[in-house]
Amino acid sequence: MVEKMNFANDEERVMFMRDLIKRNKTLNKVKKKTKVARKVALETRDNGLPEWAKDNGTNINYYNDASKFADKYYGETMRETTKLDNEWD
**Contact (CB, 8 A) for 78 and 71:** yes
Task: Look at residue 20 in the predicted model and tell me its pLDDT.
Answer: 95
Q: Is 76 domain-assigned?
A: no
Query: Does 16 map to a domain?
Result: yes
Does this model's pTM top 0.75?
no
Residue 71 located in a structural domain? no
Residue 20 has a CB neighbour count (10 Å cut-off) of 10
Residue 69 lies in a domain: no
Cβ-contact 47, 39 below 8 angstroms: no
Condensed to tens digits (0 to 9), the pLDDT of residues 21-67 reads 999 999 999 999 999 999 998 888 777 778 777 777 777 777 778 88
Q: Show Cβ contacts of residue 16 under 8 Å, excluding neighbours closer than 6 positions.
A: 5, 7
- Tell whether 88 is covered by a domain: no
Residue type, 51: E
In a domain, 36, yes or no: yes
Domain membership of residue 26 as a residue range = 8-43
Domain membership of residue 73 (yes or no) is no
37 is a domain residue: yes
From CA 85, how far away is CA 89, in angstroms rounded?
8
Number of domains the chain contains: 1
